[in-house]
Homo-oligomer: A and B are copies of this chain.
């Protein structure tokens, strides 16, 4: 599928894409292998530095790859990739080279060893900055060190997991309440 050219994006503003709660793809590299997993349990934890918390289950093959390499890329797929997203979430990197099997294009940046996924709307290069919550909560705290976002569309049709095999697709964007906002809260 065609994605418009990407451009660098301020890391403090990745919440524009992650706060609405989309399914993301976490890609990783370790000992010469690549992997990718789906993740729906994540949250913004800060803007400066740009922190994102992600739940990674210890049964995921990516768990040790991310824990040991201390890096990943958070990629933002759109509804055009929905069947690929489901396939990624329903096979394991133990058995399959998901990049090869699912036709994903790995693009390597200069910040982390983990690959960006070219077919995604945006990619956020991350370093694992806090491992202290992994054992108790499977919670990986990442700092986004670089962000690259497709130039268009401005509001991608992300997919949001409802459970039970159902996704909500991002709907219209509304802004009719702007007069109520305090300037610092925008």
Contacts and interface: CB of A to CB of B under 8 A. Distances in A.
Copies of this chain, whole number: 2
Contacts of A161: 19-20
Summarize A's interface: helix, strand, loop or mixed: mixed
A41 B41 contact: no
A55 B51 CA distance: 12
A162 interface: yes
A178 interface: yes
Contact of A177 (B139, B165, B171): B165
Contacts of A19: 21, 40-41, 160-163
Given A22-B21, A41-B44, A182-B90, A16 B162 contact: yes
Interface stretch (A1-9, A81-89, A142-150): A81-89
Contact of A175 (B155, B166, B176, B178): B166
Interface residues of A, number: 55
A186 interface: yes
A181 to B, nearest CB: 5
A176 B86 CA distance: 10
A80 to B, nearest CB: 12
B160 A167 contact: no
Contacts of A87: 180
A174 B185 contact: no
Contacts of A169: 171-174
5 cross-chain pairs, A with B, having the tightest CB-CB distances, nearest first: A21-B21, A171-B171, A20-B160, A43-B43, A86-B177
